[in-house]
Structure 1
């Protein structure tokens, strides 16, 4: 067995994710370029794309049936896409991958000076919450603590499935540790940060997202009913934005320093993914200058970014316990999409 595949002995997501870090030593490093986004290939590119991804396409159609859609981007161009229902325009449930999308808006608010820094206290931005929590430690919670899931709230959500609370209720929860000390997965960070953004920008989150993200990056209008729903293509665009350190088609949308910090190890992380954590992104520890990083949502919703190949893979899957346990999306990324992308990179003219 090729050494790249020796760690694929389990369907457990955490084990598979840990394996992804080993890929860095086998791919030929590339310098991430400031690529202009392209969706349509030339005729010559299309021939090479089909040849590289033929086996991956067959495996996705026949073997990894929990996966509903997939988009692969390499060097800023869509090289492969798959829609089991044939509907590329459909908005799909991102589950907790929405946390990483939220980081973009925090970054733009920082760039505009609407938020002073990630070390600004939450209560400086939303003073109304002060009366909701009498624990003096709550006054010290900063945006950095929310971004890194280290606010200290008493959260027991190793499975990542707890419903998000309303912002004030989420802030009122008891604290189990000093802010900044302990990682605890917390779905309520989304309403908390959303409320902070609305206060800082003075507009509804959907309007701010339309102004700062949806318009500039050419997204389809998302749905916010029961969580964030995006096109799979737009999930891939988010990965491309962070691959390019906050730039989109040569224009800075997110400060480079914030984008870099977002996908750098900020703490050791923990369940439910079992990886290190940045600012609302999971990070595979690596000696590489830019590590593999990802957004992960329950059931198999992923934005997986591998800088050495200028590679972004976005997937959506069935939202169910069975899909979560089988891990089809991550297995396909690891065993099929990655190999196809390597093959495609090798077919580029030198």
Structure 2
């Protein structure tokens, strides 16, 4: 657990880590993971290693892509705890009373918050071929997602969907009266000392504004909902804080920011390797759960080592797996 509300750096040896091995990380990143812009390794609640590349520094923020999904998961847990949402088993359509259900939509009414969190709701697109660009061209993202929800396949089968994560963000707004950015500012970012994101608004909804060089703050859809599946910007230190919060089972200092039970439920290993918008794995006896985003953005939490590895990256297709870096060059630096 972190020792104070401030984010402290300590000598690696005091944190049970080999400083020599950690010092080799920089050259490994430059040679094999060139799109990494920043990395923070925290152990026992303090920073053991921090390094920046490609002209970036500790105060720079990065678009963390699908790491956003894990933040949405945390906010849903907070909203349930506060009574805005009944439970993970509440029906999705409860939040959209004006939506007209087609008689042929036999599955749609049975889909729950849990199905969206675990990526087990059906959609018409083939697995891993979601037409996200099509959603982004719609004037009404909510209707587009609701129309395709429940189509093709059966409830309970894993199908990764960024649109489903965005629907959770819309549900958060409908149930709390605040978009995810505003709700997170009060309930998640401020209590943990993370940067509170201002409302930048959107100048337009082209590729650069939604995904590219003009992404700033937290991207919004045309209705003002924070994007649920991508679009959040964070510094590596704040990424590490978020991971540390989960290692602390939702507690920061003396404040329970996320319900403890939620952090546990969210990261249970299952056959799909996916919890509540967190990737979960066990390999060679090491259990880890990660928030992962395109291009190699990652927050990897390894509870038994009391360790968080936060990696901010520039987008590139087919980026090298960050788990390889962690397994081969960071875990071997642990001394105890």
Superposed pair shares fold, TM > 0.5: yes
Question: Where does the alignment leave 5 or more consecutive residues of structure 2 unmatched?
Answer: 136-140, 198-216, 220-229
Name the count of aligned residue pairs.
299
Structure 1 residues 111-160: Cα deviation after superposition (integer angstroms, max 9, x where no partner): 11111110011111222334478503101110000000011122324267
Q: For residue 239 of structure 1, report the CA deviation from its aligned partner.
A: 1.2
8 A contact 1:57–1:82 mirrored in 2? yes
Could you give the per-residue CA deviations for residues 242-275 of structure 1, whole angstroms, max 9, x where no partner exists? 1121112232111122111100034x32xxxxxx
SS of alignment partner, residue 99 of structure 2: helix
Q: Hey, what's the Cα distance between the residues in 2 that align with 1:34 and 1:66?
A: 29
In structure 1, distance between residues paired with 2:130 and 2:294: 7
Contact conserved, 1:125 with 1:196, CA < 8 A, in 2? yes
SS at match of 1:168: helix
What value does the CA root-mean-square deviation take over the aligned residues?
2.7
Task: Choose from 109, 133, 136 the match for 2:79.
Answer: 109
- Cα deviations by residue, 1:213-236 (Å, 9 ceiling, x for unpaired): 111111113411371111111111
Larger helix proportion of the pair: 1
Match of 1:72 in 2: 41
1:97–1:42 distance in 2 versus 1, CA, 3 Å: closer
Q: Which moved more, 1:113-122 or 1:153-162?
A: 153-162
Task: State which of 279, 297, 316 in structure 1 corresponds to 2:293.
Answer: 297
Mapping of 1:61-140 within 5 angstroms? 61-84=30-53, 85-131=55-101, 134-140=104-110
Q: Where do residues 196-207 of structure 1 align in structure 2 (5 Å cutoff)?
A: 196-207=171-182
Q: CA deviation at 1:46?
A: 9.4
- Please name the residue that 1:316 is paired with: 312
Counterpart in 2 of 1:193? 168
Q: CA separation of 1:93/1:157 partners in 2, compared to 1, >3 Å: closer, same or farther?
A: farther
Partner of 1:55: 24
SS at match of 1:172: helix
Task: Note the 1:20-35 alignment, pairs <5 A.
Answer: 33=1
- Contact persistence 2:119–2:164 (CA under 8 A): yes
Superposition TM-score, scaled by structure 1 size:
0.77
Matches of 1:235 and 1:161, distance apart in 2 = 28
Q: C-alpha distance in 1, partners of 2:250/2:263?
A: 6
Q: How far apart, in 1, do the equivalents of 2:287 and 2:37 lie?
A: 27
